[in-house]
Structure 1
Amino acid sequence: MPALHARKGELAHWRRTLHAMPETAFEEHRTSAFVAEKLESFGLSVHRGLAGTGLVATLHGARGEGPAIGLRADMDALDIHEATNLPWRSDTPGKMHACGHDGHMTMLLAAARHLAENPDFAGTVHFIFQPAEENEGGGKVMVEQGLFDLFPMQGVYGLHNWPNAPFGSFLGRPGPMFASFDIFEVKVIGRGAHAAMPQRGIDPVVTAAHIVAQLQSIVARSVSPQEAAVVTVTQIHGGDTWNVIPDEVVLRGTVRSFTREVRDLVEQRFRAVVAGVCAAQGAGSEIRYERRYPALANHDGEFGHALAAAGATVGAGQVVPDFEPIMAAEDFAYMLEAVPGAYLCLASGPGANLHNAQYDFNDELIPVGASYWVNLVHGLLRSAEA
């Protein structure tokens, strides 16, 4: 869209300003203030305070009554120490925008300004700026605090950048696209002893090692080969010195799947493996198993609308409608459980991967994503005269 591409220098400045002030879950105060100031400068009314720092701005089309839709961007950063050394690098040690949420906000802001200047549509657009996408479920909190009661809408849409795929291509699939996200913590309780006299203790280190190995059998032998699941141990903590068997070892990790049936099966088998291994070793256990995000599943009709807008933006040849499912998780899933909608990825070309200390959002992508949002609005909220 030429008008948006003509402003890409200004838009890059917005994005870099946001990049330099990263804030993590529910602490996005500077970020929220920046976004709200921009939205109000476009003449939009802004509702503050959903999920603490969340914002919703509303724009009514000039062509009269029509459906209402929501467009969502995430605002939070990650607990990562930035290693880019760019002029616009993080001003907060240990925090950075390593997932592109600075770019997501900028794309939606650019679309909001363009649509406010050219409100040639019938209906209403709600611009949703959500906190705490990373791990803490800000999308769930917004829904619980009445997002869709305060702002009724017939559809809601999300967009995420995707490095190392052909620049400007849109990627998605109907049905489950991102996995559910669960976390676990297992405290293996043994009995400490001198390392030279292991027979006098119950070794939680050996028990924990057996648990880690046996957990891999869940996916290999309990989940159908036609289904998908991941059980990954990411932390092992225990012991303080070379010659002491500790009393306890703690394991932590994550479980991913795409269907409720597999999710239930994995949790059942997880608990059985931990209990069985500990019983065999004479150890005890305490399990904390927490279900976080559900799987993100696109709705067929809304997915079709999203693909049409993507095609109008970059051409049908750059739209991939059968992208492989992604084992990462995304709390936009909560919004899609409440309201029909769709979520796409927008490829940013070669570069550092998401959640990497060397990552930086590709500013050339901003006009492309903003144009997609505008085309989506035009496609869904046609003129009353059309």
Structure 2
Amino acid sequence: MTRTADFPLLSSTDVAELIEWRRNLHSHPELSGQEKRTAASVAEFLAKTGPDRIITGIGGHGVAVIYDSGTPGPRVLLRCELDGLPIEDLADVPHRSTSPGKGHQCGHDGHMAILAGMARILGQRRPASGAVVLMFQPAEEDGSGALAVMNDPAFDALATDYAFAIHNMPGIPFGQVLIKDGPVCCASRGMTLRLTGRTAHASQPEAGLSPMAAISRIMPGLTALGSPAGTPTGHPGFSLVTVTHAQMGAPAFGVSPGAATLFATLRTLTDAAMSSLVERAEALARDVAHREGLDLEIGYADVFATTENDPDATALVRKAMDEAAVSCSTGLLPMRASEDFGQFGRSAKAAIMLLGAGENRPALHNPNYDFPDELIPIGVKIYAAILKQLIGPERAAPLAVWHEAAFPIPSDAL
């Protein structure tokens, strides 16, 4: 097998097959931790590229595919996600989800297709040195996947020097890359408060212990813990508390409620700020519950640490984008949204970038969102440009990835 730093073209056939595969994934979304079919499709599709090793079942349903030069050099991890969302797919496309209440409205199907495109390239020509690991990670949407992958003993064999990820982003000019060093995605966690008192007949509420007053105080109290309105997301003190769900008692007129449940999302720019916000939120809830004589249970789910881009990895991406003639800026970064990719930064120089999906498309998590197929070869071009930098430009041939004439950027995406 040829071993060189030259990355060949993706043929029109390659791109067409990647699009077809992406649409099949879109039609069969699976939620976090349930990605069995998706993982099997990934392993089958990538096995045809002749990788040096395929690891399945990592961190749950994760799949890692390795292309090794056999010589010393940088080891680079490129990561995408397997999971969909618990959202009904309403996009008017033939490949709309066939799973009721589930959809790929975050574009993870497109991220998988981009990495599969890199597999086609690496399968034809290995890197000149080092190795490339393509990581198809499970359970990103609930924040558990990256940590589960890294805590899996199988991850020890995947030790890498650099880690990169792309996330598509509608609302940004098509094909533009947004990247910056430092914090780029906020820390967040879902907080659950369960208040327990005692039910009573609705004609004698004084005989019971209702959580009504407590929950009425806690909701505005929690939101008031956030930083003042207008605080920039990039400010170290940025914080936000969003009440997302509240339920009290049974849907009946004859019973005074004896229990209530409240969901809130806590969000901060940094992990240190999150620790402070959690402490204050818990103190508020305990104080109100104590005053009202209620029992309180506090729980957490969907816990995301802040995602920070390493300065060296970020500089490398910027240089690669300059040489590949890809528009690059800091744009709206850092974002309020969370992303568990930051976990990979614990053991590697890591950077995640946003890839513009066009300014006139539905937003992420919108039931009408569908990843634009035209981004697939662009994402491949971006990863190839990054790998070229790490392999060493003195040994790399000119970079080219696909014939734009065969797959032009749609006019409505500009």
TM-score calculated relative to the size of structure 2: 0.86
Residue number in structure 2 paired with 1:286:
297
Deviation, 1:10, is 2.5
Q: In terms of mean alpha carbon deviation, does 302-311 or 160-169 score higher?
A: 302-311
CA separation of 1:219 and 1:104: change in aligned 2, threshold 3 A: same
Does residue 378 of structure 1 match 2:384? no
Q: In terms of mean alpha carbon deviation, does 95-104 or 116-125 score higher?
A: 116-125
Residue number in structure 2 paired with 1:348:
357
Q: How many residues align?
A: 381
Are the equivalent residues in 2 in contact too, given 1:121–1:383 (CA < 8 A)?
no
Does residue 183 of structure 1 match 2:194? no
Residue number in structure 2 paired with 1:299:
310
Task: Summarize the alignment of residues 1-386 of structure 1 with structure 2, pairs less than 5 Å apart.
Answer: 3-4=9-10, 6=12, 7-44=14-51, 45-61=53-69, 64-119=71-126, 121-146=128-153, 148-220=155-227, 226=235, 227-240=237-250, 241-290=252-301, 292-315=303-326, 318-321=327-330, 323-349=332-358, 350-382=360-392, 385=395
DSSP 3-state at the match of 2:97? coil
Residue number in structure 1 paired with 2:402:
none
Q: In terms of mean alpha carbon deviation, does 203-212 or 362-371 score higher?
A: 203-212
Q: 2:86, 2:276 → 1: CA distance?
A: 32
Are the equivalent residues in 2 in contact too, given 1:122–1:384 (CA < 8 A)?
no
Q: 1:213, 1:352 → 2: CA distance?
A: 31
CA separation of 1:219 and 1:74: change in aligned 2, threshold 3 A: same
DSSP 3-state at the match of 1:265? helix
Are the equivalent residues in 2 in contact too, given 1:171–1:321 (CA < 8 A)?
yes
Are the equivalent residues in 2 in contact too, given 1:111–1:373 (CA < 8 A)?
yes
TM-score calculated relative to the size of structure 1: 0.92
CA separation of 1:314 and 1:100: change in aligned 2, threshold 3 A: farther
Are the equivalent residues in 2 in contact too, given 1:5–1:367 (CA < 8 A)?
no
Are the equivalent residues in 1 in contact too, given 2:60–2:148 (CA < 8 A)?
no
Deviation, 1:293, is 1.7
Deviation, 1:228, is 0.9
Q: 1:60, 1:102 → 2: CA distance?
A: 25
Q: 2:387, 2:355 → 1: CA distance?
A: 17
Are the equivalent residues in 1 in contact too, given 2:25–2:38 (CA < 8 A)?
yes
DSSP 3-state at the match of 1:363? coil
Residue type of the alignment partner of 2:168: N
> CA offsets, 1:283-320, max 9 Å, x none?
332222457221011111011112222333343xx201
CA separation of 1:48 and 1:2: change in aligned 2, threshold 3 A: closer
CA separation of 1:147 and 1:372: change in aligned 2, threshold 3 A: farther
CA separation of 1:203 and 1:60: change in aligned 2, threshold 3 A: same
Deviation, 1:191, is 2.7
Q: 2:184, 2:321 → 1: CA distance?
A: 17
Gaps of 5+ in 2: 1-6, 397-414
Q: 1:145, 1:8 → 2: CA distance?
A: 33
Deviation, 1:362, is 0.6
Deviation, 1:206, is 2.4
Q: In terms of mean alpha carbon deviation, does 176-185 or 277-286 score higher?
A: 277-286
Residue type of the alignment partner of 1:255: L
Q: 1:54, 1:291 → 2: CA distance?
A: 18
Deviation, 1:9, is 2.5
CA separation of 1:190 and 1:41: change in aligned 2, threshold 3 A: same
DSSP 3-state at the match of 1:3? coil
Are the equivalent residues in 2 in contact too, given 1:236–1:249 (CA < 8 A)?
yes
Deviation, 1:149, is 1.5
Deviation, 1:281, is 2.9
CA separation of 1:264 and 1:147: change in aligned 2, threshold 3 A: same
Q: 1:324, 1:39 → 2: CA distance?
A: 33
Residue type of the alignment partner of 1:373: Y
Deviation, 1:189, is 2.0
Are the equivalent residues in 2 in contact too, given 1:294–1:333 (CA < 8 A)?
yes
Are the equivalent residues in 2 in contact too, given 1:67–1:122 (CA < 8 A)?
yes
Residue type of the alignment partner of 1:54: G
Gaps of 5+ in 1: none
Deviation, 1:346, is 0.3
Q: In terms of mean alpha carbon deviation, does 106-115 or 288-297 score higher?
A: 288-297
Deviation, 1:196, is 4.3
CA separation of 1:311 and 1:383: change in aligned 2, threshold 3 A: closer
Are the equivalent residues in 2 in contact too, given 1:174–1:322 (CA < 8 A)?
no
Deviation, 1:77, is 1.0
DSSP 3-state at the match of 2:389? helix
